Amino acid sequence: MKSLKKNKDFKNVYNKGKSKASRYLVIYKLENGLNHNRYGFSISKKIANAVGRNKLKRRLREIIREIEKKEKIVFGYDIIFIARKPVVDLDFHSLKADCSKLIKNMGLNEEN
């Protein structure tokens, strides 16, 4: 799994990409012209302390790995997940279900 790291890459996706939101997450996508996806995660300091933010990022990375393995994901996108405040109350499986639903809503699975 490749990561988005540079601020200009994040800004590019925010400005030119499409977004969808749920109660817990916001997802942005933008075509990148590559044969793989790059993922970024944005979690505000208002949501949790450093330990909580890193735990949430680790969970999201693992969820993305599982979704890429089990569901057919379309490649060639930069994808950013932004956490919202209520996400701290979610367990792993609920977070996974929310991510999966957002990915389907964005048309990032090959079944669409």
CB-based burial of residue 71 (10 Å sphere; 0-12 exposed, 13-18 middle, 19+ buried)?
middle
The larger pLDDT score, comparing residue 89 to residue 63, is at 63
- The predicted pLDDT at position 100 comes to 93
- The predicted pLDDT at position 112 comes to 53
Query: How do residues 1-37 score in pLDDT, each as one tens digit?
Result: 889 999 999 999 999 999 999 999 999 999 999 999 9
**Lookup result for tokens 């735990």:** 55
- The predicted pLDDT at position 70 comes to 86
Q: Are 73 and 67 in contact (CB under 8 A)?
A: yes
Q: 76 lies in which domain range?
A: 2-105
Category of 46 on φ-ψ map: left (φ > 0), alpha (ψ -120 to 50) or beta: alpha
Does the residue 111 lie in any domain? Answer: no
User: What sign does the CA torsion over 48, 50, 51, 53 have?
Assistant: positive
- The total of structural domains in the chain comes to 1
Does the residue 50 lie in any domain? Answer: yes
Q: Could you tell me the CATH number of the domain that includes residue 81?
A: 3.30.230.10
pTM: predicted TM-score of the whole model, two decimal places: 0.92
Does the residue 112 lie in any domain? Answer: no
